[in-house]
Chain A
Amino acid sequence: MARYGMLIDLTMCAQCSACTVACETLYRLPPGESGVHLRSFETGRFPAVRRVTLPVQCMQCQDPPCVKVCPTGATYQDPETGTVQMDYQRCVGCRYCMTACPYGARQFDEAQGTVAKCIFCTGRVKQGLQPACVETCIGHARIFGDLDDPGSEVSRAIAERHALPLRPDLGTRPSVYYVF
């Protein structure tokens, strides 16, 4: 039993998009359909202006609205890893989950006629590898591991760096944390 989680430390993120392309090349996704996207927001007035860039992907919610709305059970929560997964055999492409996800973390895969999203590289993790985005992160901004284990690197870093998930008020209980 584990609950896979991730920390993205924005003070280290180089905003380089290496994570985006790592996901695309590993899964041979069509260009632009990566599970990870960078989103930027600008705030303030010159010269006191700031730009925050967030790598956004599936937050692997513990209380995932996408699972609740899926009529076929194609989107499901894997009890072994606590991750939200897709069974492509069952996905009918209705896109309810896309509407339900408050993080805009899902994309429609035109070629397959199904919905795709970040799966936390579960296959790699089970082989003892890191998720591709974590492995390649040139800012060393990403830490992956088991949130249920308080001694894991990711759990310790979340505590030490006072990391927070995005929009905790939505009640989805995400497993991806950020340091701002």
Chain B
Amino acid sequence: MSKFGIQERRITRRRFLGAGAATVAGLAVAGSLVHRPRSLPEARAAAPRTPVAERLVPSICQMCSTHCGILIHVAQGQITRISGNPDDPISRGRLCARGQAGLQVVTDPDRVRQPLKRDGSGRLRPISWDQAFQEIGQKLQEIRAKDGPQALVWLTHPEVLASWEQRFMNAYGSPNWTSHAPTCFSSRNVGWVATVGAVPSGDYANTRYYVSFGRGINDGISNPQVQGLMTAHRNGAHLVALDPRLSDFAAVADEWLPVRPGTDLAVALAMIHVLIAEHLYSPDAVAQSVGFDQLAQAVQPYTPEWAAERSGIDAATIARIARGLAAAAPAAFVDPGWHGPQGGMYWNGVALTRATACLNALLGNLGKKGGLKLPGPSPLPDEKSLPLLQPAPQPPKLPRFDGAGGPEWPLAKGMGRAHVLPEVIESGKPYPVRAVIVYHTNPVRAYPHGARVIEAFRRLDLVVVIDHQMSDTAWTTADYVLPESTYLERLGPVQVSGTKLVLPQPAIRPLYDTLGEDEIIRRLAEATGLGGYFSYTLDQYNRAMLAPLGLQPADLAEREVTLPLPPSPPQPLALKTPSGKIELASSAMEKAGGPAVPVWEPPLVEPDGKTNFRLITGHVPMHTHTSTENLAYLHALMPENQLWIHPSRARALGIREGDLVEVRSEVGRERLRAHVTEGIVPEAVWMAHGFGCISPAQRLAYGKGASDAALAPIRSAPYSGACATAETLVTVRKVV
């Protein structure tokens, strides 16, 4: 027992099967009472379940960033299945489609199997790891000597070993480590941090009234949140989807409000207006906040009628939903959002987040059951304090290539503005960038204006892509492709998952000549003359992280380890805002040159309703970004995306269901099939993100559907610097 009184539980066959079943399994081993399957699928299913043949390895799913607890089923050295770990507080034994299809990440016939280098003729050819590290290390040293360390940029997503990547960059001397925040959630984070000092999450399972401003919780799935919200729905919670499209979430919600894209802010402001005008807000929450009077004055003109004119949602509905939220408060919330209108796709994303944050605050739902909760402290030690990691390289004091955290983008801070990289490479301003290391992410289809990304990257002296598949970015721009072992083949850094500690551990040995990212970083550091900063392995790192808790990696290899996590701090005491209170009027926003309280800001572009459309995009439940379309099971579920278009507009353009159409923007054109549906506002067209693969090495995904990223110009929304991809106008025509 450790000093925290950690409870340990073994995942035994007994637990896994349930008490009654253990007897049956036991008898089967003894040879009597064997259930003889009569059908083939039954036989196939029963075979790997004999206790002798099958091993269950607990780990975490890495098919998206939710990190659900999984059990990897291994029989005769092969992964036969991945199921949810019933002991895991995140997955609770259930996995989404992507999580289960994860085994095909290993067996995908198109995996990168060895290190590759582009030769003079433009082909990627196999080389040894030694040669790859030696050449890349030398090149990185040359670049630093000639152009300075800031000439190297590291782009990453997901951020599993982020701290190792940052350490590498610190050691090299470059401030330019950049995650995928600006192409996803930057605006949301800026707005929430300005208001309450952190980004809260919802208590989905216990809520009574839930409103989403453009978040399709069933579309871009976070497993535990869906589990919670669907359970709440059964228990009578009222679900409202404000979305220009009848998303998968809107389809199951009690109400779908087809808002004109880019005008969610008007609806949010009017709801605040109703709460204040009708005294429906929580007086306690107001007492714990600053700027209430200022907010009240600002929203005076924003009546429901005013919002109805802009948003297309009628005034009575807006008022009714505001009252519904108030009546159910504090077990009610507006989803803090993720991507979409609060994430940064629109020009007014920060304003919208600020408005929904204030709306939530007025409901008094912070820290309440069924409301919103702020993240608590991690039980793991701060790695900077670990003796093993000394000496630690200091973060360089140079300005970032994208200006994030500088005078122009003070609120963007470390989230970066990765999408402006092509502009920086082209102009050499603020300074020349010569090399990028791309971990997993796929800028060619993840960042706006893919063609410009390709062109810019081709001008660099060095492009290194670390991935297990041949992404578009790897195929079109990489000088070196370094194949990574998949999450089922490699160790990962120890993590907190809900109230558990988990060890992402390998279930099988790597199938091909691949390495884990930890090993790649270590050897890259060595070859670049920075080996002194990485004189430990990932296993030693995990040991050091666990030691203060009185645990070892072996304790987590077989067992579930529950942590008595401190309950999230009593709220909203001492919030991490300048005033320590809820900032309905934000001093940080004011300092950044913005309005202290949320006010109406129109979206940047307006479709004319006749010749053009606003292009909106989003996620689907069976795919994650651009990383899963080549996996056979998920591909079969959704092989390509379609262009959703309203029948009235389709008719005028002579477009019918299934027709091939061309979508054209100021920066690109793409082709895909049309889906004519009543489930979208007439002024917009929608397509799922993540399709339109241009890497022929991904044989299933190649050429299927269209890339939304190819159509969006590079634009940075105010305050957050997020890329405003939904501020894109397109024309559509039938391809004859």
Contact = CB atoms under 8 A, between A and B. Distances in A.
A53 interface: yes
B253 to A, nearest CB: 10
Given A25-B633, A46-B682, A50-B251, A12 B24 contact: no
Contact of B622 (A17, A50, A135): A17
B21 A17 contact: no
Given A27-B45, A44-B678, A12 B231 contact: yes
A123 interface: yes
B24 A127 contact: yes
B621 interface: yes
A42 B45 contact: no
B636 A16 contact: no
Interface residues of A, number: 54
Given A128-B18, A136-B100, A46 B221 contact: no
Contact of B633 (A21, A47, A88): A21
A116 B41 contact: yes
Contacts of A28: 44, 80
A11 interface: yes
Contacts of A53: 248, 251
Given A14-B221, A85-B38, 4 more contacts: A16-B248, A27-B44, A29-B41, A49-B256
B84 interface: yes
Q: Which of B97, B223, B621, B622 has the most CB of A within 10 A?
A: B97
B613 to A, nearest CB: 15
Q: Give the size category of B's interface with A.
A: 35 or more
A57 B93 CA distance: 22
B679 interface: yes
A16 B97 contact: yes
Looking at chain A's contact residues, the main secondary structure is: loop
A25 B100 contact: yes
B230 A21 contact: no
B698 to A, nearest CB: 15
Nearest to A76: B38
A18 interface: yes
A20 B637 contact: yes
9 contacts: A11-B233, A12-B234, A14-B226, A31-B636, A87-B38, A119-B42, A137-B94, A138-B230, A140-B234
B340 to A, nearest CB: 18
Contact of B35 (A44, A50, A123, A138): A123
B39 A86 contact: yes
Contacts, number: 166
A2 interface: no
A124 interface: yes
Interface of B: 17-18, 20-21, 24-25, 35, 37-46, 49, 80-84, 93-97, 99-101, 103, 218, 221, 223, 226-227, 230-231, 233-234, 246, 248, 251-252, 256, 258, 621-622, 632-637, 646, 677-682
A92 to B, nearest CB: 15
Contact of B46 (A42, A85, A123, A141): A123
Interface in A1-56: 9-18, 20-22, 24-29, 31-32, 42, 44-47, 49-53
Interface in A71-85: 85
Nearest to A141: B230
A129 B21 contact: yes
Nearest to A114: B40
Looking at chain B's contact residues, the main secondary structure is: helix
A52 B46 CA distance: 34
Contacts of B682: 46
Contacts of A136: 83-84, 93-95, 100
A163 interface: no
A139 interface: yes
A62 interface: no
A180 B49 CA distance: 36
Nearest to B621: A16
Contacts of A26: 45, 81
A53 B249 CA distance: 11
A15 B223 CA distance: 12
A22 B100 contact: yes
Contact of B637 (A21, A112, A135): A21
Contacts of A86: 39-40
Contacts of A52: 251
A27 B41 CA distance: 5
Contacts of A18: 94-97, 99-100
A128 B20 CA distance: 7
A51 B97 CA distance: 21
